[in-house]
Structure 1
């Protein structure tokens, strides 16, 4: 359906005159007549009758008018959904409780008037494809896990190094420690059922194991963080790693302990990725906000895998 013809029909219906619609739309009266006639032919009905006072809607015209207005509203929303500056900024994070979500919550609090969509894509290949297609505007990832380098049109900046903490139940051998060194973790079972081979976070923990001789078990199904916390609370032989900024809530009876890891402190590197030609104005605002509010990276006494981007 020709939306300009629909727009012309609405102008005539609201003003009651072809001449007035022509003036409103900055076209000739003849063009108005042609558009309305074409619309009537397409619909197979008469929309107006000529009257001494101008053009009056027929029964079919009155029936069509609210739908015509909705057609224009839908068209305007469709254009706004893809027009930079009009559509929400779409940002990919790994999960809803991690540091990346926390960074985006802070951004939203600082800029509450900016429209924002937060999505969760699973692996880095999917995220890069979405960046290149324009499906998302930015993604938080660990750059770059062993594998193909980032495409030349994808840029990244390291925004946050998140210290790891050991999470134990009250009966674990290390539960009373105020901090533990990486060497003290050797021989302890660290259970992380969410590790998926081929992901950047699995590559990170593989290198952590290799560097310090740790034992990380990824056996069993991943039933989510609540089930993980239940198991850690009830099993003295098991502990797990959590990021310092990961938001956790558990029943008081669990009495879980979050223990800093030191000497060195393993940190998980969060980087922001985006397509270099993305014109969305809020993307620049996000980058500036992260640069001003995050603590940076490369602090002395920390550890990251050798493949992590230094930028």
Structure 2
């Protein structure tokens, strides 16, 4: 299992390439939510999302021979763009399996960094089939979340947050495949802080998995929170099951309202997936009232509708 030392090592490894993103506050947002909110702005990370951290950490641990061969992944957008950006930086060829109905903004972001895109059907079944096919051809696969190097890299966002604000009561992250949450809860535990994940009601397999003690399949991809429509992995779930006590749910309308609230109070336009953490602070005031809470704004790769 990944531990805090691996997160710390990942942070050191990627420091020269990943951005140390700002932590912002807004008194207007604090007033609206009834707590002191510290926004870790991974929407300002390279490629526009926290995913660059894990992708960069994984690539940096490949041998020169492996990098020359190139890597493969599947993605709804942010991991694919992050991996492509890191590959471009390191001179590594990359192929990404992308659902044909993926966000045009995220598809363009992947192409901008030189990814070779292969269209696949939406859903976990098609993703898993694509990866199985690539592995059968001895491809080097860098998965979106379920890998120790990815988890350690994603945790570096929370580590930076707590290094700047060690007094935080806790940290809240979006939950899709669990890379960000699993990495963040390792950091929170080190700082003796609370940590929880947030997912859409229409993609609540993470909460179901935690309650049943085993990974539940992803629900049909129906939520506007496109970055969170996947199931947990064995590596991420092992950490979350041991260290996370609850996963909070929000609906799409709440995520949309939170997206608009963040823009009104900070001027930032973030993804609905990212806005789920703000929606949770609003929906569950009894948990967060008057507390100092760090939230990971996971990405900003979307256009204003």
Is the pair's TM-score, using the shorter chain for normalization, greater than 0.5?
Answer: no
Rg larger in structure = 1
The structure with more strand, counted as a fraction of residues? 1
The structure with more helix, counted as a fraction of residues? 2
